[in-house]
Structures are given as C-alpha cells and as structure tokens.
Amino acid sequence: MYAAGGVLAVRTERGTSIVPANRVAWTPAGFTHDHRAHGHTDMRIVFLTPSLARLVPDHPAVFLASGLAREVLLALTGPRNYDDATGYSRSARSRLLRVLVEELREAPEQPLHLPEPRDDRLRAIARILHETPADNATLAELGKAIGASTRTLSRLFRNELGMTFYEWRTQLRVHHALVLLAEGQDTTRTAYACGWANPSSFIEAFTHIIGTTPGRYRTGRQSTDPTPRPPTAVTSSE
C-alpha cells in the first residue's frame, strides 16, 4: 500500500502504522487489516505473488520509497488514468514487481509502527493517550488511575512492546501529529495539540522519527500531492 499523497493509517492486530506520503506499508498475507486516509490522499495498492512475498519481511512494516520504487508503483497502478490498469503485459508487470521487491529489500524499515498492547493495563493507558495525546501525566499518575504500579507498567512496556513508556508515547504523539499536519494544521498548533511544551521540542522529536522537520514535511507533501480528490484505491495483481 503506497501513499502517493496524503497520510494513511494501517491497522493490524500487531498495531498501527502511520504511512506519510512517499512511504510503502507492507502487510503480509494472513494479517487482517484496515486502513484510513487522512487529508487529500492518493492511495495505491499492489499485491505480490507468494514467491515474491517470501522475499520481504513476514511482519507488517513501513518503508521509505526510493525514486525507482515510486516510479514502479505509479507505473503498476496507472499515474493518470485510474480506470485503465496501465496496459502492461503480464510478463512486464512481473518484471516491474520484481524490481519493486528488490527496492523494498534494500530500504530500511521506518520507525512508524506503533505496537498494540495486549495486556489490559497497557490497553487502558493506550485508550487514555489515544483520546488525549496532549495528556502529560507521568507513568506513575496513569498507573494510579488504572490500579497498577510504575514498576509493573515499565516492565510490561519493555517486555510486551519492546520500548519504554516515554518512547511509546512519543511515537503515538508523532502519529497524531502526522494526521493533524495532513489535515492542514500548522507546526505550532500541532505541537501543543499533541502534548509538547513548545514547538522546538516537537520539531526535534518529529525529525528524529520522520527524518525531516514538520515544516519541510508539510511543504514536501503539498508539492507532491496530486490535484485534490476523494481517497482512491487502485489495485494491481498478478
């Protein structure tokens, strides 16, 4: 699933991936998933055959699309005419799909996957922070609200989600920030809405995870977005 423009949220039982423009979300066979578009979104979907799918990760992942991968994805799904499936022959599509897979194999995974808690105590904290990402309560304060100790919650975050509470909350806030930016919010308003004390700290955290500043991200997204239209899904399959 490729976001040529806009932002996609892709959810599986493992968690939620936020997919900004020019990223590829990979969901292996067997994972029930749903997705939601934010902002003016141009979404492309390409299916891989089992032989090619074996060459990419066996878990949901997000990759930055290289220039070549982007052009292959647009070619496979038709960059202009959404009613015509590109006109490539079966053998040509097979070659393009192999090029795409090779590009994905070379691309590092993006830290854009927010794991979904399974423990009821962590799920209770997740619900609170999803509803109010600006909540600056400490883990101790959240633990008191749900009836769990800080030590227990810290252990659960590390053992179940592979990160600290503060790392998980920062990632959740960046996910919310991407959605707000896609919907047209500016950097300052987004920073405060997602719980940062000032825009500078938001810019630092956002850049660390996304690889560019919020301002540059918004500018780049706007310059690559197609003419606004309703979210579109186009499929190319073998």
One domain, residues 78 and 103: yes
pLDDT reading at 67 higher than 50: yes
**Residue range 104-120: mean pLDDT, rounded:** 89
Same domain, 20 and 58: yes
Share of the chain above pLDDT 90, in %: 51
Q: Rg (Cα) of the chain, in Å, rounded?
A: 19
State whether 129 and 199 are in the same domain. yes
Question: Are 85 and 123 part of one and the same domain?
Answer: no
Show Cβ contacts of residue 44 under 8 Å, excluding neighbours closer than 6 positions: 1, 2, 4, 73, 74, 76, 77, 233, 234
Range of the domain at 107: 2-112+229-236
- 66 and 81 inside one domain: yes
What pLDDT band is residue 238 in, cutting at 50, 70 and 90? Answer: very low
81 and 131 fall within a common domain: no
What integer pLDDT is reported at residue 226 of this predicted model? 38
- One domain for residues 107 and 123: no
Total number of domains constituting the chain = 2
What is the value of pTM for the model shown?
Answer: 0.75
| Mean pLDDT taken over the chain | 85
Regarding whether 150 and 83 lie in a shared domain, the answer is no
16/108 same-domain check: yes
List pLDDT tens digits, range 81-102: 444 455 778 888 899 999 999 9
Q: Does 146 share its domain with 107?
A: no
Q: What is the CATH number of the domain that holds 177?
A: 1.10.10.60
What is the per-residue pLDDT across 8-48, written as a single tens digit (0 to 9) for each?
888 888 888 888 888 899 999 888 888 888 777 788 889 99
Same domain? 137 vs 70:
no
Q: Assess whether 18 and 85 both reside in one domain.
A: yes
Question: Per mean pLDDT, which range of 2-6, 47-51, 69-73, 144-148 is the poorest?
Answer: 2-6
Does residue 230 register a pLDDT over 50?
no
Residue 86: what pLDDT?
A: 56
pLDDT at residue 13, rounded to an integer = 82
